[in-house]
Amino acid sequence: GENVEQHPSTLSVQEGDSAVIKCTYSDSASNYFPWYKQELGKRPQLIIDIRSNVGEKKDQRIAVTLNKTAKHFSLHITETQPEDSAVYFCAAPNAGGTSYGKLTFGQGTILTVHP
């Protein structure tokens, strides 16, 4: 099965700085890598995802990069704002068998943006 490792576990930045969260995965057949943001007491919400046919994807202040050779992908948040404070999870799917689409999540990163 898939194994996903996420670092760092906590990240503290000043408003306006950039934040980077990194994940590694084990299943070389995985081809879809979502990032979820979870605020306290709320559901995980998809914020950006990337498929393996591209190396980078941007959506306003957030971007995700993928290195399939090294089996790692990263979330980049620029010009951070206090409302970016949340727990961020990376995930990767099981790409084969009967588990198509089942997501394995990283351990999460608690991002705190100080005003």
Partner 1 sequence: DTGVSQNPRHKITKRGQNVTFRCDPISEHNRLYWYRQTLGQGPEFLTYFQNEAQLEKSRLLSDRFSAERPKGSFSTLEIQRTEQGDSAMYLCASSLGQGANTEAFFGQGTRLTVV
Where along the sequence are the contacts to partner 1 (CB under 8 A)?
6, 30-32, 34, 36, 42-46, 49, 51, 89, 91, 93-96, 98-108
Specify the residue for token string 């934040």: 19
- Taking the least distance from each CB to partner 1, the nearer of 22 and 78 is 22
**Of the candidates 13, 8, 9, 7, which has an alpha carbon nearest to the alpha carbon of residue 82?**
13
Nearest-5° angle of CA 24, CA 101, CA 5? 15
| Smallest distance, partner 1 to C-beta of residue 69, A | 19
- Taking the least distance from each CB to partner 1, the nearer of 85 and 104 is 104
| Smallest distance, partner 1 to C-beta of residue 57, A | 13
- Taking the least distance from each CB to partner 1, the nearer of 9 and 81 is 9
| Smallest distance, partner 1 to C-beta of residue 42, A | 7
Burial environment of residue 101 by CB neighbours within 10 A (0 to 12, 13 to 18, 19 or more): exposed
- Taking the least distance from each CB to partner 1, the nearer of 1 and 16 is 1
| Smallest distance, partner 1 to C-beta of residue 32, A | 3
